[in-house]
Structure 1
Amino acid sequence: MSKNKILGAILGFCVGDALGVPVEFKSREELKKEPVTDMIGYGTYNQPPGTWSDDTSLTLCLVESLCNGLDLEDIGERFVRWYYDSYWTPYNKTFDVGNTTKEAIIKISKGVSPEQAGLDDEHSNGNGSLMRVLPLAFYLKNFKDEEKYNVIYKISSITHKHSRSILACSIYVEYAINLLKGYSKKEAYKNMKENIINFYSNTVFRNEFDSYNRILEHDIARLKKEEIKSSGYVVDTLEAVFWCFLNRDGYKEIVLTAVNLGNDTDTIAAITGGLAGIYYGIEAIPKKWIDAVARKKDIIKLAEKFSDSLNINNI
């Protein structure tokens, strides 16, 4: 597994997150007047430039756990340490925690198994599991479909167990895997749609196809910006990610487009930045943005450890 791809994906994700943190919850109209064009600080959470949020924290917890293979109990334990002890946070302070994620982690801390902890009601379809599943693209790249989608199901379900959230994670990871295999953006999009529809058509997930109609049945890239919402609802988030990635070129342009959509800026820019990091490589991410990232050396060290573990296990 190419170390460059893993570094590009993880740093691309972190940088997108950090770009979005200072303007989270700002409206598209506000950002149209004062767009984000560079790494800035303070703003919404009054954090220095390069500060990433829960998106990156939970992604790094997953990366670290996967270095030793797939172990749901271990992942759940790391999530609990993040929430209560600020593990894998930029400055030993946990902030910006989604309600569904929080409720599930509290359940795990009280002894509920990670497999049973996730919330499965329709109102628990924020982007909290979608924002942390990118590492699975590397881990599952050569898995057979049934095993691959079963793992995605389990990882999402630690916090988000509703089929809509799980399907979003599957769509995203499947697309990222196609990029890793060297397909162009459009080829990867076509392949992803075929794979998802073929695999899930005869399952209960078929009921959620309508929610993702604009991604799976149509070409999301053809929509106008005004038709794209950038909220924390998992469907809106996934649509925004694909729209930005398919309509823009180059890491910088893609993530800045994502941030300037407004609202859930950090998560959408992070998820989009992960794809852009895979596709364009670490060289495409502005060096000054990487240098600004909090705990940059720790993140690079972890990404390299993850790369080594995948090569050793021939995954």
Structure 2
Amino acid sequence: MTDLQYKIKSALFGVAIGDALGVPVEFKSREYLDQNPVTEMFGYGTYNQPPGTFSDDSSMTFCLAEALTHDFDLTRIGENFVKWYHENFWAARGEVFDIGIATREAINRLARGEQPEFAGSIHPSSNGNGSLMRILPLLFHIKDLPISERYEITKKVSSITHGHIRSVISCFYYLEFAKEILLGRNKFEIYKKLQTQIPDFLNSLSINPHEIALFDRLLKEDVSELEKNAISSSGYVLHSLEASIWCLLTTDNYKDSTLKAVNLGEDTDTTAAIAGGLAGLLYGFDTIPNSWLELLARKDDIEDLAERLTTKIGS
């Protein structure tokens, strides 16, 4: 297996395993999970799904990855999202059981013929984590491009479902972090590097300074020093981004980072999917517990997708 294929496989499975860990306890409170922590992959719970069932987070991640096995095309990405929602394309077990409001509305606009770049709402209230949760495969398409191109492509792919600048910046930060992991850098060094690189670049674009300031905890502070009660785990995109980086920085292996994300409560599957994508990249596929992988829905299909994406990216 090539290094690139291993990295792609680690990212895709990293997202899916985190997602599946969180599905049974989505919407459970932190207080509940403090008393009943998730320690292993299990099933049923919130959606009454078997163990190893991933949700919209992974399905849309795989829809994006699937599109990237061809030439980059926003329309194809949007069409795959429509196929997922309307035809169960890349659903874990043949049915869609979880979708965010903004994502559903954007997909309905796509189905009616809206251009993908403009399908996502640009309203400040539409800043759920629906584009951040599925953005990771884009890393492999943009990793060798200049930062301005990485940003512009990320903005377009986020905007298929979430067009507000806050969602775009969140996706951009996440992919820049992931890109540095690909280069083999230490996670704390990456965190410090981005505290200069991200603001410098965003300020060059004349983005509203208020929007950039919303990221101050990541860009000016050390989130790894925060206590758990200072970390929010709702479906708000900035909460999801902060929580995932916090889980990555305050653990030292894949298993602990994803379980920590799940046990924050609320949007458990998405926080763990986002954290799990980075942790998968950082620690590698071989560090994901085999007992979890054995339960994962469609693992052979995911492996095949990783191979096909590798072939395209490496060509």
> Superposition pairs for residues 77-226 of structure 1, below 5 Å?
77-202=79-204, 203-226=206-229
Q: Percent identity?
A: 49
The counterpart of 1:296, out of the listed 284, 294, 299, is 299
| 1:129–1:159 Cα contact (<8 Å) kept | yes
Letter of the aligned partner of 1:267 in structure 2? T
Q: CA shift at 1:274, angstroms?
A: 0.6
2:256 equivalent to 1:242: no
Corresponding residue SS for 2:213: coil
Letter of the aligned partner of 1:45 in structure 2? Y
Q: Distance in 1 between matches of 2:191 and 2:136?
A: 16
Corresponding residue SS for 2:77: helix
Q: CA shift at 1:2, angstroms?
A: 1.8
| 1:12–1:273 Cα contact (<8 Å) kept | yes
Letter of the aligned partner of 1:135 in structure 2? P
The counterpart of 2:5, out of the listed 3, 6, 15, is 3
| 1:178–1:192 Cα contact (<8 Å) kept | no
Deviations 1:16-43 (CA, angstroms, capped at 9, x unpaired): 0000000000001100111000000000
| 1:17–1:55 Cα contact (<8 Å) kept | yes
| 1:163–1:205 Cα contact (<8 Å) kept | no
Q: CA shift at 1:5, angstroms?
A: 1.1
Q: Which position in structure 1 is the counterpart of 2:44?
A: 42
Deviations 1:110-142 (CA, angstroms, capped at 9, x unpaired): 111101111010100000000010111222111
Corresponding residue SS for 2:161: coil
Q: Distance in 2 between matches of 1:209 and 1:187?
A: 21
Corresponding residue SS for 1:195: helix
The TM-score normalised by the length of structure 2 is: 0.97
Letter of the aligned partner of 1:105 in structure 2? I
The more displaced of 139-148 and 15-24 is: 139-148
Q: Distance in 2 between matches of 1:13 and 1:158?
A: 20
Letter of the aligned partner of 1:21 in structure 2? V
Q: Distance in 1 between matches of 2:59 and 2:297?
A: 11
Q: Which runs of 5+ in 2 are unaligned?
A: none
Letter of the aligned partner of 1:104 in structure 2? A
Q: CA shift at 1:308, angstroms?
A: 1.5
Q: Distance in 2 between matches of 1:182 and 1:138?
A: 15
Q: Distance in 2 between matches of 1:71 and 1:119?
A: 20
Q: Which runs of 5+ in 1 are unaligned?
A: none
Q: CA shift at 1:307, angstroms?
A: 1.1
Q: Distance in 1 between matches of 2:6 and 2:262?
A: 24
The counterpart of 1:32, out of the listed 31, 34, 41, is 34
> Superposition pairs for residues 251-270 of structure 1, below 5 Å?
251-270=254-273
Letter of the aligned partner of 2:278 in structure 1? L
| 1:22–1:45 Cα contact (<8 Å) kept | yes
Q: CA shift at 1:310, angstroms?
A: 0.8
Q: Distance in 2 between matches of 1:271 and 1:158?
A: 18
RMSD: 0.9
Q: CA shift at 1:69, angstroms?
A: 2.2
| 1:167–1:205 Cα contact (<8 Å) kept | no
Q: Distance in 2 between matches of 1:67 and 1:247?
A: 34
Corresponding residue SS for 2:60: helix
Q: CA shift at 1:205, angstroms?
A: 5.0
The TM-score normalised by the length of structure 1 is: 0.97
